[in-house]
Amino acid sequence: MPELPEVETVKRTLNVNLKNKNYIINNVIINFPKIIKDIELNNFKEKLIGQTIKEVDRVGKHLLFVLNDYILISHLRMEGKYFFTNNRDEIKNKKHVLVEFELSDNNFLFYYDTRRFGTMHLGNYQNFYNLKPLTKLAAEPWDIDENWFIDKVNKSRKAIKTIILDQHVVAGIGNIYADEILFKSKINPQERGNNLTKTEILRILENSKIILNQSIDMGGTTIKSFSAGKQISSTFQKWLMVHTKKDQPCPKCKNIILKTKVNGRGTYWCDHCQKLKK
């Protein structure tokens, strides 16, 4: 699943092609109606046609296409991808193209999704923040109120990994990054929130920013089938310290990296560097 750094990379890549180009949406072809949420299909199409794409923004893992009157909120979920092209036939197998945007100057923006879990919501400038996909989203590590975060973690008896994966607590940390953040913070993923000190919680927050920034700089991870666009290749996965490194030596202490499940999510850690507290 693309995580925040990947979605940020997709956003940046799309902006290279879309920002300030003022492409007008001339037509919208919906090949898989289920992806469009909470709005009638014809209404969705009617509203989009004639709109100019200003730029692409991001909130959490949601892409926001900023149009002159509307905001199109797109969530890639498991496998969603965008392709921008001036050659309609560039994608040979159209089976997985769920939505086609025909743009001015003979350009096309294709939404491609083999798993078909992606979603699109349409809002306007006044209401988009109150639409379903965005309402319950917490702040990202850069914007979060530190005291609120410390309090939230300290009041929880859940494993710290589960807490930082909860998008209602902090937005944008996915499974891969949670493992890397906790390794860097020397915190056991199964440690309970109420067992952590203020200093440790702030360290986790600080390392969240570092790890996510590092990954954004490198263009996301591409562990499964994430693709940011034709031009971008990701190097972050080469820099993973623990995630996917089961049975390999810990880069810090050479002990063997272990794998377990925390709340159902595959979790990698070093039992020596990330000791469970007594």
Using CB under 5 A as the criterion, which residues of the chain lie in contact with Zn ion when the complex forms? 250, 252-253, 255, 270, 272-273
- Eight-class DSSP state of 224: S
Give Rg (Cα) of the chain: 20
Tell me how far, at minimum, the Cβ of 243 lies from Zn ion, in Å: 14
- Eight-class DSSP state of 162: H
Pick the catalytic residue from 11, 47, 61, 81.
Answer: 61
Of the two residues 164 and 270, which places its CB atom closer to Zn ion in the complex? 270
| Rounded distance between C-alpha atoms, residue 204 and residue 141, angstroms | 10
Q: What are phi and psi of 276, to 5 degrees?
A: -70, 135
Of the two residues 212 and 270, which places its CB atom closer to Zn ion in the complex? 270
Note if 88 is an active site residue. no
Tell me how far, at minimum, the Cβ of 255 lies from Zn ion, in Å: 5
Pick the catalytic residue from 3, 6, 100, 140.
Answer: 3
Tell me how far, at minimum, the Cβ of 247 lies from Zn ion, in Å: 13
Tell me how far, at minimum, the Cβ of 199 lies from Zn ion, in Å: 20
Amino acid identity of 121?
Answer: H
Note if 278 is an active site residue. no
Tell me how far, at minimum, the Cβ of 138 lies from Zn ion, in Å: 30
Tokens 């939404």 belong to residue: 111
Of the two residues 187 and 273, which places its CB atom closer to Zn ion in the complex? 273
Of the two residues 101 and 183, which places its CB atom closer to Zn ion in the complex? 183
| Rounded distance between C-alpha atoms, residue 106 and residue 98, angstroms | 19
Q: What are phi and psi of 111, to 5 degrees?
A: -100, 120
Q: Dihedral, CA atoms, 8, 13, 18, 19, nearest 10 degrees? A: 60
| Rounded distance between C-alpha atoms, residue 85 and residue 106, angstroms | 9
Note if 2 is an active site residue. yes
Three-class SS state of 132 = helix
Q: Dihedral, CA atoms, 269, 270, 271, 272, nearest 10 degrees? A: -150
Of the two residues 61 and 245, which places its CB atom closer to Zn ion in the complex? 245
Write down the number of H helices and E strands in the chain.
7, 10
Task: Just list the catalytic residues.
Answer: 2-3, 61, 265
